[in-house]
Amino acid sequence: MVGTLIHEENRRAADRFAPMTGYTRVIIAPEQKAPEHTEFEGHAYDVSLNGLRFELDEPLEEGSSVDIELHLPGLLSSIRSKARVVRIFDEDGDHGPRRMAATFQSFHSPLDASRLTNHLGSGYFGPEK
């Protein structure tokens, strides 16, 4: 099993799946690019059909638009989407990488959306608990 389905008091519209930490690479490119940073690389902590929670070495601005390249274990190519950063987790006790959450706004292609839907529904990340 590569990850698990997260079940808790869930107000979200879609189940979240947690791939094993360190195995789900994300590349985030802010739409408002600073000259010294065009993209950031980090890890996803959980993924749903609506968005993801991820970490980068530096926080992005809440509300910022980003391009995401998501590399899920078990897929041969990445899933690309546009998203909006909706949450920056508190810095207290968070020395080092910062966790953030983003919601998907659109996918690069209908194939990207379909591949995410099929992969999350495939059971690859373990049985529902």
All structural domains of the chain: 3-120 (2.40.10.220)
Considering only CA atoms, give the Rg of the chain.
14
Using CB atoms within 10 Å of the CB of residue 45, give its burial: 0 to 12 exposed, 13 to 18 middle, 19+ buried: buried
Containing 4, the helix (H) or strand (E) segment is strand 3-6
* pLDDT, mean of each 10-residue run, the chain (129 residues): 46 59 84 73 90 91 95 92 93 73 96 93 65
How confident is the model at residue 95, as a pLDDT?
65
Distances (CA, A) of 10 to 13, 55, 76, 86: 8, 21, 30, 17
Contact present, 2 and 73 (Cβ < 8 Å): yes
How confident is the model at residue 24, as a pLDDT?
86
How confident is the model at residue 6, as a pLDDT?
45
How confident is the model at residue 17, as a pLDDT?
63
Using CB atoms within 10 Å of the CB of residue 44, give its burial: 0 to 12 exposed, 13 to 18 middle, 19+ buried: buried
How confident is the model at residue 112, as a pLDDT?
97
How confident is the model at residue 7, as a pLDDT?
46
Cα 87 to Cα 50: distance, rounded to the nearest angstrom: 14
How confident is the model at residue 63, as a pLDDT?
95
